[in-house]
Amino acid sequence: MQPIQNIFPLLSEPKKVVITMHQKPDGDAMGSTLGLYHFLSKLGHQCTVISPTNWANFLNWMPGCNTVLDYESQGSKADILMADADWIFCLDFNILSRTKRMADKLLAAKGERILIDHHREPQTEVFTYGNSNIEKSSTSEMVFDFIVESGHIDMIEANIGACLYAGVMTDTGSFRFPSTKASVHKMVYELMERGLEHSHVHEELYDNFLESRFRFIGHALLNRLELFYEYNTALITVPQSDLIKFNVKTGDTEGLVNYALSIQGIKLAAVIIDRGEERKSSFRSKAGFDVNTFARTYFNGGGHFNAAGGFNKEPLEEVVLKFKAALKENKTALSTYQF
């Protein structure tokens, strides 16, 4: 993988560009891809954003979101664009399998794949150019760096600002995680200087949920939360019947794991959800417990040191047993928590 700076001289020639992200995109995946989409389109490139799957309704307000193709429902159109693209930007994921059914098509495409990502252990061999930096708060911050380093900071306007701000805000837990370095605040300063209205972004993302989501969260915290104090761990297990009963939509479960992590003394928080076709886990940790390794070792997943996820094919009860066995194996690391 060559440094991404090597494409800067090529940015002036119009190209056919596809920009994609991980499945079930979150704020950073959607914000970074749309931020890059607006920037490259302004430079004169012909761009399309493709999501491997659908996404949460609370992302729909983002400028340009109405142009994003959902591979699950618009696969044949997306296949043509991918096969024909000169450049395929891969944002906010480290391995092609995170694009699910799109992975084979991405690998077969003749265009050059370009990575911009902040997850650990990227599959560097499949990218011609790239920037992988686990120190970065978000892929959105890396897209901002890309725009600035390529000499185009003056092209940033309100739409780019809203997309990138949404990404960095959601991936930093509203600027609270240790990944929120001074560079993040500097970026926000630059975005605000160029028309960003930050309150609007907060309202769209956090004050826009349906009643059913709150009823679901209340139910999950009251009835599905287990605490394992000897391991400083909290677990929320969600059976598929809850998703049906509360009419839970894509994105409604996002943030649930953070409630568990906010309990005093909790070092590891987990949510395991039975999505029917698979069991999806989310892990969050505080201080020195590495959930990236935890998710990789036991749950076919990965992510970051303090936030990771995974998938299992086994039934829910088995995944929960696996989790409990994993707690035992990690007892030393989990029980020696320094407050």
Identify the residue among 48, 51, 92, 266 touching Mn ion (CB under 5 A): 92
Q: % helix / strand / coil in the chain, to the nearest 5?
A: 50, 20, 30
Does position 308 interact with ligand 5GP (CB under 6 A)? The reply is yes
> Strands 87-91 and 16-21, how do they pair?
parallel
Contact 285, 268 (CB under 8 A): yes
> Strands 268-274 and 279-285, how do they pair?
antiparallel
Identity of the residue, 45 or 119, whose beta carbon is nearer to ligand 5GP in the bound complex: 119
Does position 164 interact with ligand 5GP (CB under 6 A)? The reply is no
Does position 309 interact with ligand 5GP (CB under 6 A)? The reply is yes
Contact 178, 136 (CB under 8 A): no
> Smallest distance, Å, CB 329 to ligand 5GP?
20
> Smallest distance, Å, CB 309 to Mn ion?
12
> What is the three-class DSSP state of 38?
helix
Does position 282 interact with ligand 5GP (CB under 6 A)? The reply is yes
Does position 28 interact with Mn ion (CB under 5 A)? The reply is yes
As a whole number of angstroms, the longest Cα–Cα distance in the chain is 60
Does position 304 interact with ligand 5GP (CB under 6 A)? The reply is yes
- Judged by CB under 5 A, the number of residues near Mn ion is 4
Phi, psi for residue 44 in degrees, rounded to 5? 105, 10
Does position 171 interact with Mn ion (CB under 5 A)? The reply is yes
> Smallest distance, Å, CB 308 to Mn ion?
12
Residue 307 binds which of Mn ion, ligand 5GP, none (CB < 5-8 A, kind-dependent)? ligand 5GP
Question: Could you report how far apart the first and last alpha carbons of the chain are, in Å?
Answer: 41
Query: If you count DSSP H runs as helices and E runs as strands, how many of each does the chain have, helices first?
Result: 13, 13
CA atoms within 13 A on the CB side of 88: 29
Residue 337 binds which of Mn ion, ligand 5GP, none (CB < 5-8 A, kind-dependent)? none
The DSSP symbol for 16 reads E
Identify the residue among 301, 306, 319, 330 touching ligand 5GP (CB under 6 A): 301
Residues contributing to the site for Mn ion (CB under 5 A) = 28, 92, 139, 171
Q: Give me the residues that bind ligand 5GP (CB under 6 A), please.
A: 22, 94, 98, 119, 282, 301-304, 307-311
